[in-house]
Structure 1
Amino acid sequence: MTKRTPWAEYERAVRVYTEAGAAETVQRIVTAMSRLSRRLDVYYNARLEAIDVSRTEWPVLQALAIEGRDGSSHPSKLADAAGVSASTMTHRLDRMVERGLVERVPDPENRTRMLISLTRAGWDLFRTAVLDAEVGETNVFGPLTDAEQAALAALLEKVLAAQSHEPRRRR
């Protein structure tokens, strides 16, 4: 049996979808994005493991970093961002507090709720992960010139901006 190259597998997948009636250009885009996403996921998993960040901790670090260095969030919002239940997030936050990555403080506006924020160690770990991942991300898009990368980013942002609503969650 002949081993197929990743490019041959990509072409085969596009051909199968188009033979089933899908639009070729759309399938080329979707298939390429899907394969790049998988490739990046494999890279991210390895890099996060190397710097001692679990795949369950990463969405929390990411969501809190987006809130800003002095920002915070509620456990329920973090659970939504990570796509997990509130009880799962509570356990995740317990471990992250033990590791010194996040801290919990009572919400001054509602004493029954907690605010979660990154500690200095949590922020430093987030920054390390971002800088570490950039090497692989740069390599993935290395075949493109700076102008092509900017054009690709602009086109993807245009598609993303056109998605005016979030998909409904299944209950």
Structure 2
Amino acid sequence: MDTPEETPVERPVSKPDAPDAATARIEFETMLLSRHSHLHAPRTRVGAGGLDRSAYVLLTRIRMHGPMSIGQLTDAFGLDASTLNRQTAAMVRAGVVERIPDPEGGIARKFRITEEGERRLDADRSFNIDGLGRIVEHWPAGDVSAFADLLERFNRDIERLEGRPWPRP
């Protein structure tokens, strides 16, 4: 039986010597990164008590900022209120956030992370860090650190363009 010949993998559309070749590579690699997120992303754990992606991101933001209203979440994420209402309602049902009066006396109620939310967020973050650790386990420490620095710079520039900075530890 004849074996089919392997078709060479095509690179991104840009020519290798074009000034935007590196940018085309970034686009291609970020597309693949989103595809490979199953290796470390929280949705892998959803069936096992893990958080879905939106809950993971929202809980992280609430943890870093403190209690937040729908309006504050809308500003922070650039999402419409109806989307955030659906997401936060699911999170309340899951027991990972609770609605509380504004601690600063404002009219809008705010969402605060619960002990269960803290526990599940910590478990998912540990899962993610362990998964990423397996991916880069053979990299020199300096490369891991440089990659983290470049990812932070990349994200900060996205945040700058969107006008939505993300708090960092």
TM-score by length of 2: 0.74
Select the structure with the greater relative contact order (CA < 8 A; seq sep ≥ 6).
2
Counterpart position of 1:51:
49
Is residue 19 of structure 2 the alignment partner of residue 36 of structure 1?
A: no
Deviations 1:63-110 (A, max 9, x none): 11222xxx2111222234455321232232223222221111111444
SS of equivalent residue, structure 1 residue 53: coil
Aligned length: 160
Instruction: Note the C-alpha offset of 1:38.
Output: 2.5
Counterpart position of 2:166:
none
Counterpart position of 2:60:
62
Structure 2: segments with no counterpart, 5+ residues: 164-169
Question: Take 1:164 and 1:46, find their aligned partners in 2: how far apart are those partners?
Answer: 27
Counterpart position of 2:95:
100
User: CA contact under 8 A between 2:96 and 2:116: conserved in structure 1?
Assistant: yes
Structure 1: segments with no counterpart, 5+ residues: none
User: CA contact under 8 A between 2:39 and 2:131: conserved in structure 1?
Assistant: no
User: CA contact under 8 A between 1:47 and 1:133: conserved in structure 2?
Assistant: no
Instruction: Note the C-alpha offset of 1:125.
Output: 0.6
Aligned Cα root-mean-square deviation (Å): 3.1
TM-score by length of 1: 0.73
SS of equivalent residue, structure 1 residue 17: coil
Question: Take 2:32 and 2:44, find their aligned partners in 1: how far apart are those partners?
Answer: 17
